[in-house]
């Protein structure tokens, strides 16, 4: 086996090993004490908002899929800067937050897919973690 063939074989092996399955978590620093012992079907979406003296209540709308499609999943008014909503994993969500600034309405929009990832290879037992599912809807002056 010549050197080029050997290097190609190693490269292919490394790429296949790193690819893993779609649900396998390939990140670093898994906290095995804070994982699920089974694949969760739901978890908390995290929605970050600007809630202050000027914006004490922020109307929030959560959509399944793109908000342009108009499939409303949940509507509420947030009164804290971090709003959570227990929702299905492996689902794309869009979220809007409505702010009134100088008599004008500003609508912040963000979208993401909350995923359940298998991190068992980092622990000595079955371990699932939630990734993504975070939405940044703060006003620019608050980021």
Quote the CA–CA distance of 108 and 103 in Å, as a whole number. Answer: 16
Q: Provide the pLDDT confidence category of residue 18 given band limits of 50, 70 and 90.
A: very low
Confidence bin at 34 (pLDDT 50/70/90): confident
Residue 122 makes CB contacts below 8 A (sequence gap 6+) with 25, 30, 32
Q: Are strands 58-64 and 42-48 parallel, antiparallel or unpaired?
A: unpaired
pLDDT digits (tens, 9 = 90+) for 82-99: 999 999 999 999 999 999
Residue 109: is it exposed, middle or buried by C-beta count within 10 angstroms (0-12/13-18/19+)?
middle
Q: Is the pLDDT of residue 62 over 70?
A: yes
DSSP 114-135: EEEEE-GGGSSS--EEEE--EE
The residues with which 113 forms a beta bridge, in sequence order, are: 92
- The share of the chain scoring above pLDDT 70, in percent, equals 79
Tell whether the model's pLDDT for residue 101 goes beyond 80. yes
Please measure the distance between the N-terminal and C-terminal CA atoms of the chain and give it in whole angstroms. Answer: 56
Mean pLDDT over all residues of the chain?
85
Question: Is the alpha carbon torsion for 141, 55, 46, 41 positive or negative?
Answer: negative
Percent of the chain having pLDDT more than 90?
Answer: 69
Distance CA 36, CA 25 (A): 13
């Amino acid at each position: 086996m010549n050197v080029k063939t050997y290097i190609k074989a190693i490269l292919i092996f490394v790429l296949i090993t790193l690819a893993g399955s779609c649900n396998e978590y390939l990140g670093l620093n898994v906290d095995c004490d804070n994982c699920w012992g089974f694949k969760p079907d739901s978890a908390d979406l995290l929605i970050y908002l600007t809630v202050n003296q000027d914006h004490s209540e922020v109307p929030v709308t959560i959509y399944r899929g793109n908000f342009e499609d108009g499939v409303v999943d949940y509507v509420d008014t947030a009164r804290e800067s971090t709003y959570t909503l227990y929702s299905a994993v492996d689902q794309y969500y869009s979220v809007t937050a409505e702010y009134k600034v100088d008599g004008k309405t500003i609508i912040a929009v963000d979208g993401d897919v909350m995923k359940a990832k298998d991190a068992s290879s980092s622990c000595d037992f079955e371990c699932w973690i939630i990734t993504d599912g975070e939405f940044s809807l703060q006003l620019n002056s608050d980021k």
